[in-house]
Structure 1
Amino acid sequence: MIARGHFIGEIVDALAGISERIEMRNRLGITDMSVFAEVFVAGLLNEVLGTDLKTLNDERPNEPGLDLGDSRGLYGIQVTASATSQKVRHTLGTLTAEQAKTFERIVVFCLGKKQGSYSVPGPFPHGVVFDEKADIWDFTDVARMALGLPLDRLQGVHGYVRQNTVRMLVELEVPDEKGVCPTNGYELWEVRPPLQVGEGTAYIAFYEKRHSKLDEAEQDELTEALLELSRKLRRLPRLTREFLATLIERREERDPRRDSRDFSIHLELNKVVREFHGDVKEELDLLVYEGLVDVDGDDPPELGAPEVFVDLTDCVALRECLVAFIEDRGLNVRQVIGATDLSAF
């Protein structure tokens, strides 16, 4: 009962918010609606009614009379910002004979608040049957329909509303006197971090102290690899960089029986899937695309579960001591990889 009340409460609040914003637009004389409004209503009613409504304007621009149609012919729906009696009569008057034959029921859906009563006398063209009390809907009617749904269906409605309400509210924003809306699409993009990368001298000195001298060509290769790593990290979304940093933090000891890759960082894939409460495949796909990880699921069963290999660079000299350098300098992986700050190198 708690879950049901929670779903219903959020659905009602979200739909009321949309209706109120449309009412404000109506009072300002802004009655034009974006195509997304029709798409939103189609998806909402599909969740509530189990229909397969699609926008008719996709197939035929400015479809007379109706905006949405059910593929099984159950409903033909006109979506309007304000449903006055005159608007309803006009909608019914523009129905074609084909529409009247195709759809069992014609509905006018009011995005704002519908009137308390209507005067829409028949008869209507092509023998259309229309009940002004039952066939004019608004979001309040949809909320009532949702009340009696089984819990799994109600959860589906809740998920759809929650996922699409913000976009709907943005579409309904009223522009200022310069025609600029409060929410700018450009501002929705994540800002990429600045390129922060050292010249490689500090890392080269650290490497040579531990291993052997690098000749000029090897130093140039390492410096270029460091720059390329920084570029790849900048191209990743922040959450993906943080996912990568955590893979490195949770790295496992190398198993010489199966890890033939020099200085690779690896983890068992199944552990990653269990421990990360997000879309592992999506994150790994982004990292594989940039050439920063590889997923190996083809090993023989006797060698254990599939693994994720983190290979940040093809430059062996950089890969060999990268994590050790970070730790030696008192840095941390989240700062270097997550925040793309390679300036200490």
Structure 2
Amino acid sequence: MITRGYLIGEIVDNLTAVRADVEQRARLGLTDLNKFSEDFFKFILNKTYGYDLRSLNADRSNEPGLDLGDRKQRVAFQVTSRANKEKIETTYAKITDEQRQQYDDIRFFVVGWKQNSVSLDESLREAVGFDLKTTVVDLNDLLMAIVPLEIDQLREVYDYVSKETVRIRAELEVPDEDGRYKTTLADKLEKRQSPQISDCVRFQGPHSEVLGKTATEVRADIETMSRHLQRLPRLTREFLAYMVERAEENDGDEGWRINADKLQRLTAGHGGTDGDIRILREDGYIWLTDPEDETGAVYWRINLRSNIDYLDNILGSYVEQGHTTWQKIIVSIDFSDL
């Protein structure tokens, strides 16, 4: 089970890495933050503090003024890489009369460290109610507020940060002298697994009577199975292998089965398997049965999309005898042991 400590540790590590990227840009004189950065922290601020912040500058990037606002709670933020005297005074100077009427609490969220002191003009400080401790929120303040969140809120923040950190760090990258970026989309996309298939003689020989097929025909069927498996994301193949490994029986043409409620309990700590189930269901690997009796038990039926009767059963026996593993067959698409 994923613990609070694990979730918090991952959030801290990811957000600290984002801060390091922002600081690196600042050292190079690049202090702008784009709209994606604002949206990234908008979600986290909302989940952490219970705001309903909305973007105030959908058509603008890093101009002084307010970036995020919650009309109901009358709080607004400027999201920035720095909150020095110049930045704060410029921001206040650009706030419109309309915005002043809409928001009582105007803050700065710094993707970095707040300064120990900011020497604003005293009249401005009094006019806007500036208090360094509360008006400027830095990443440390945010992380300290994240730690005591309820577990459901904490998981939401963890899921979002885990999913979006790669993208925001890519957005913050600085190009080299030729205008090329270190991270490209191709680097992050999953590579297609190349199947490995034997001549299937060793596998087919002892089962030729049951299969009623030659080794060549068995190999051709496994090639087709491999092409289908290639289309699945790797994590979905891992989920399919898990379902087969935990299946309760294999009864011929119906394939394996696993109790749907039991599967849900077994995978509760996974962080979400609905997407894998949709993919496998759409691709014909699994289907849901009607309740079998008055107990209301519902089962997922599973097959590997073979066109040869009983091939799934015999593969199962082959695995049970220790000749290969489901991880190797389904996840690595490696049938070289057959």
Tell me, yes or no, whether TM beats 0.5: yes
Paired position in structure 2 for 1:246:
242
- Asked if 1:53 is matched to 2:49, the reply is no
Distance 1:57 1:240, change over 3 A: same
Could you give the per-residue CA deviations for residues 45-68 of structure 1, whole angstroms, max 9, x where no partner exists? 22332111122233x435761111
Q: CA deviation at 1:197?
A: 3.8
User: What residue number does 1:307 align with?
Assistant: 299
Deviation at 1:212, TM superposition (A): 4.4
Pick closer, same or farther for the CA change 1:26–1:326 going to 2, 3 Å. same
Q: Offset of 1:300 from its aligned partner? A: 4.3
1:284-303 equivalences under 5 Å are: 284-296=277-289, 298-302=290-294
Q: TM-score, normalised by structure 1?
A: 0.75
24-33 vs 204-213, which moves further: 204-213
2:319 corresponds to 1:323: no
The verdict on how the C-alpha distance between 1:270 and 1:11 changes in structure 2, with shifts beyond 3 A counting, is closer
Distance 2:186 2:116 in 1: 41
The question of 1:160 aligning with 2:157 is answered: yes
Cα distance in 1 between the residues matched to 2:4 and 2:213: 68
In 1, are the aligned partners of 2:31 and 2:82 still within 8 Å (CA)? yes
- 1:138 maps to which residue? 138
Q: Are residue 115 (structure 1) and residue 115 (structure 2) matched?
A: yes
Shift of 1:295: 1.9
Q: 1:322 to 1:284 in 2, by over 3 A?
A: farther
How high is the sequence identity, in percent, across the aligned residues?
A: 30
Post-superposition shift, 1:289?
1.9
1:341 counterpart (330, 334, 337): 334
Q: Any unmatched runs of 5+ in structure 2? A: none
Q: What RMSD in Å do the two structures reach over aligned CA positions?
A: 3.9
Larger Rg: 1
The 3-state SS of whatever aligns with 1:61 is coil
Is the 2:211–2:311 Cα contact (8 Å) retained in structure 1? no
For residue 87 of structure 1, report the CA deviation from its aligned partner.
Answer: 1.8
Q: Offset at 1:204?
A: 6.2
Q: CA 1:93–1:286 in structure 2 vs 1: closer, same or farther (change >3 Å)?
A: same
Q: Say if 1:128 and 1:96 are closer, same or farther in 2 by CA, change over 3 A.
A: farther
Alignment partner of 2:128: what SS? coil
Whether the 8 Å contact between 1:83 and 1:110 is mirrored in structure 2 is yes
CA shift, 1:231, in A, is: 1.0
Give the superposition deviation at 1:106. 1.5
Structure 1 residue runs without a partner (length 5+): 256-260
Q: 1:329 to 1:37 in 2, by over 3 A?
A: closer
**Residue range with higher mean Cα deviation, 93-102 or 301-310:** 301-310
1:264 maps to which of 244, 252, 255? 255
Q: Mapping of 1:83-102 within 5 angstroms?
A: 83-102=83-102
Distance 1:103 1:142 in 2: 21
Displacement after TM superposition at 1:77 (Å)? 1.3
Output the CA distance in 2 between the equivalents of 1:210 and 1:64: 76
